[in-house]
Amino acid sequence: MVKSATDKPADSGGTVESTTDKPTGSDDNAEDLPEPAEDMGSSGSNQLAEDLEAFLPFEEGELIIELPEGWEEDEINDDTIKQYSYTESFGASVFLVKYNVPGGIKDARSLAKHFMDEFNEKDNYTKFYSLTDINIGSFKGARLDGELIFDEDLKETLVHIYFQKNNNIYEISTSCDAEDEEAKDILESFFESVEIR
């Protein structure tokens, strides 16, 4: 599990949130999945997208990331998203974005709580059930755990981690089949061993 700065989850505030319009884990059966909720989209709300005004582009050298063994950065034609994949397991990928943070958000934990509340209140598919203070790389951050629920038999596990460097707030997110314990272990190992500074 991700190194936790506290032994117990922080208060979840009753509702939950998530991220925005970025890709999630791969799924061979994606074309068979139901359409996402009209008011929220598959990974973020329209209102949330307006609030954040999309992601900010990464600048050269703003983050130094040393990937664990077996991981590599994927080539993406988008300077606002970084994707990292485990070379020996299809579907084990994580995504990194930098937010244009809306007013009133003071730190990474505040942004995590904001998302948790937004998604739990408005999204019929995405539900986050815990908000925990953690360490990721060299930074203190906040972790959301939840599920993307299509039906009783089709669920994905979601993890969104938020951390702050200088005045920027970043999110690392991933998803995998809720029954895929191997993928969960691979992703947890990534969170524990990735070096970010």
Domain layout of the chain by residue ranges: 1-27+70-197
Topology adopted by domain 1-27+70-197: Protein Transport Mog1p; Chain A (3.40.1000)
**How confident is the prediction for the chain on average, in pLDDT?**
81
Q: Give the model confidence (pLDDT) of 30-74 as tens digits.
A: 444 444 433 333 444 455 555 445 699 999 999 999 999 999 999
Count of beta carbons in the 10 Å neighbourhood of residue 111: 25
**Better-predicted residue by pLDDT, 148 or 51:** 148
First to last CA, the chain: 20
Q: How far apart are CA 109 and CA 131, in angstroms?
A: 9
The answer to whether the pTM exceeds 0.85 is: no
Report CA torsion sign: 71, 76, 79, 80: negative
User: What mean pLDDT comes out for the span 83-109?
Assistant: 91
